[in-house]
Amino acid sequence: MGLLSNAAALLGKEVRTEFRSRELMSTTTVFVLIVVVLFSFTFDPTTDESHRFGPGLLWLAFLFAASLMLQPCFLREQVNDTLSALRLAVRDPFAIFLAKIGANTLFLLFTELLMLPVFAALFNASFRGQLPGILLTFFLGSLGISTAGTALAAISAQSRMRELLLPLLLLPLLAPILVASTEVTVGLMSPDPFMQWKGIGFLAVFDVVFLTALWLFGEYLLEE
């Protein structure tokens, strides 16, 4: 089987197991909801402040949620040593990463889209007419978070302080994604909305660089 068909089979398994257990989606959605509501009550922002600070708070909430979501993606494979079975079954280990990245991006996007109306209501934000831009930003941002996060989750899963290590590595590494995604979202949320293509370009390059690095070196991250 080829790389893509292996990855598709693995992605199907990820989605099926998640929709059966609902562990990641439910905890992440509740977590983001709590953070967004807390931010809203803490700052009680005016419309102007919402435009300036809202996107940053939103992406910060997504980042925290992602760190929760990414942690189990390889830990779950350790419970019954299914990662070994996957390594024996797939010809190219990058298929495992592709599927994990795909699943994490999908789950994160789902949470983000679910939270968007809540955020708009609490922060007096309007994304009218900007949905394609928002979707593109969310997709590229989530892909970047998932790609770098999946690589780090694979590393941290084999360490002793795995629960602490992932957020410690993840948050600094994803700072550029946070900044770029926030800037693009600020542009889309402003009274005269515009698309910051420079930020979109940065997100795309970040995604490509990390995907390439994983394609080249991912095999070593799965070794015992």
Partner 1 sequence: MAPSAERSIGLRFEKIDKRYGAVYALHNLTLEISPGECVALAGRNGSGKTTLLRVASSLTRPTRGTLAFSGVPENQNPQVGFVAHATMLYDELTAEENLLFFAKLLGVANRKARVDELLNEVGLGERKDSLVRTFSRGMRQRVAIARALLADPSLLLFDEPATGLDAEATAWLIGHLRTLRDRGCTILMSLHGESEVARLAARAVRLDTGSVVADTRSGATFQSVLTFAGG
**Interface residues with partner 1 (CB under 8 A)?**
1, 6, 9-10, 12-13, 16-17, 20-21, 79-82, 84-90, 223-224
* Shorter beta-carbon distance to partner 1: residue 6 or 185: 6
State the nearest-atom distance from the C-beta of 147 to partner 1, in Å. 22
Give the torsion through C-alpha atoms of 165, 166, 169, 175, to 10 deg. -150
State the nearest-atom distance from the C-beta of 107 to partner 1, in Å. 15
C-alpha distance from residue 79 to each of 19, 73, 164, 219 (Å)? 19, 11, 19, 20
State the nearest-atom distance from the C-beta of 42 to partner 1, in Å. 38
* Shorter beta-carbon distance to partner 1: residue 23 or 49: 23
Between CA 148 and CA 161 the distance in angstroms is 19
State the nearest-atom distance from the C-beta of 13 to partner 1, in Å. 5
State the nearest-atom distance from the C-beta of 18 to partner 1, in Å. 9
Between CA 214 and CA 173 the distance in angstroms is 15
Between CA 63 and CA 19 the distance in angstroms is 22
Between CA 135 and CA 113 the distance in angstroms is 8
Give the torsion through C-alpha atoms of 211, 220, 73, 83, to 10 deg. 130
* Shorter beta-carbon distance to partner 1: residue 21 or 46: 21
State the nearest-atom distance from the C-beta of 51 to partner 1, in Å. 43
Between CA 79 and CA 86 the distance in angstroms is 13
Residue with tokens 């197991």: 17
Do 102 and 11 form a contact (C-beta atoms < 8 A)?
A: yes
